[in-house]
Structures are given as structure tokens and as C-alpha cells.
């Protein structure tokens, strides 16, 4: 999946990772994290229910991928090179993009949660709660609701 360089893209016309159960379109996702292991883990977690159209390793590429693919959801890390996730989210939202943004981060500080929501995010998930919370956060975002990880904010 992850090629160890800058991007990962699934082939939209292939059947890789796509369920054959239903003909309806699956939500599309862009992933942005500077750690290849997180990209791999999130990809495995989401691939059965979502089409991952791109995965990138910095904030500037995250904005470019969102503008190129117009995904339903973007999952951004906060701390990324070239442009942090908060800046990337603000830039995406300033361009009137309808993509819903979920932050996936290690930061359990309330100030980060507030900054993320002020940047236009629909969700805030701690990496330590990714297995239990990420899909739930995406579903909330797709339904127009906000989700914040169940981990006690400020306890980390």
C-alpha cells in the first residue's frame, strides 16, 4: 500500500479493497500523516468500508490531494511537515471545499481540540483511540455531526 515516498493512491477503476456487496458508492477518504506506519494502520482499518483515494505525508500535499480528489472525508494529523494539519484544514475550508476533516493525533490537550474545531474540523480522534473511534468519527462527520474522541481530554 504505502510506497515509502510521497503518495499512495488506489486505482479507482480496480476492485482492490472494494466490497462487491453493494453497487452504491462508498465514501472517499484522503489520509495525511507523516508516519508511514500510521498510514498503513489507518488504511487497513478503513479499506473495507471506504475508498482511500490518496495518502500523503505532509500538510501541503494534503491540501493538494483534497483539492484534486474532493473526498468525502480527510483524516489529517496535526503535526506534519511543510504545513501543519490545522493550517491545512483552514486552507481547505477557505477554498469552500465540502470535505469533512477529522484530526487523528496524539495531542490530548483541550487547546488542540478547540483549535481543530475552530479550523472547521468535524472530528478529533486520539491515535490511542483510533481502533474504537475513527470509523465512528467518520460516520458522525458524514452525517453532519461532530465527534471528539472518548479519551479524557487533558489527561494525556
Beta-bridge partner residues of 147: 123
User: For residue 61, what is its C-alpha cell?
Assistant: 500535499
pTM for the whole thing?
0.81
- Which distant-in-sequence residues (6+ apart) come within 8 Å of 145 by Cβ? 122
pLDDT digits (tens, 9 = 90+) for 52-87: 999 999 999 999 999 999 999 999 999 999 999 999
Q: Which tens digit of pLDDT belongs to each residue from 102-116?
A: 999 999 889 999 999
Is residue 108 within 8 Å of residue 154, measured between CB atoms?
Answer: yes
User: pLDDT category, 151, cuts 50, 70, 90?
Assistant: low
pLDDT digits (tens, 9 = 90+) for 28-40: 999 999 999 999 9
Return the residue matching grid coordinates 477529522.
102
Amino acid at each position: 500500500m504505502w510506497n515509502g515516498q510521497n503518495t499512495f493512491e488506489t486505482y479507482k477503476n480496480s476492485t482492490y479493497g472494494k466490497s462487491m456487496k453493494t453497487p452504491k458508492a462508498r465514501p472517499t477518504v484522503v489520509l495525511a500523516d507523516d508516519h508511514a506506519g500510521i498510514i498503513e494502520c489507518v488504511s487497513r482499518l478503513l479499506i473495507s468500508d471506504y475508498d482511500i483515494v490518496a495518502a500523503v505525508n505532509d500538510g501541503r500535499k494534503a491540501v493538494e490531494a483534497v483539492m484534486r480528489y474532493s473526498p468525502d472525508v480527510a483524516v489529517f494529523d496535526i503535526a506534519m511537515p511543510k504545513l501543519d494539519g490545522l493550517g491545512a484544514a483552514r486552507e481547505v475550508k477557505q477554498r469552500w471545499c465540502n470535505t469533512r476533516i477529522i484530526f487523528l493525533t496524539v495531542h490530548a490537550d483541550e487547546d488542540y481540540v478547540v483549535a481543530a474545531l475552530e479550523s472547521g474540523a468535524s472530528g478529533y480522534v486520539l491515535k490511542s483511540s483510533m481502533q474504537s473511534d475513527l470509523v465512528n468519527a467518520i460516520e458522525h462527520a458524514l452525517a453532519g455531526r461532530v465527534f471528539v474522541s472518548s479519551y479524557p481530554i487533558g489527561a494525556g
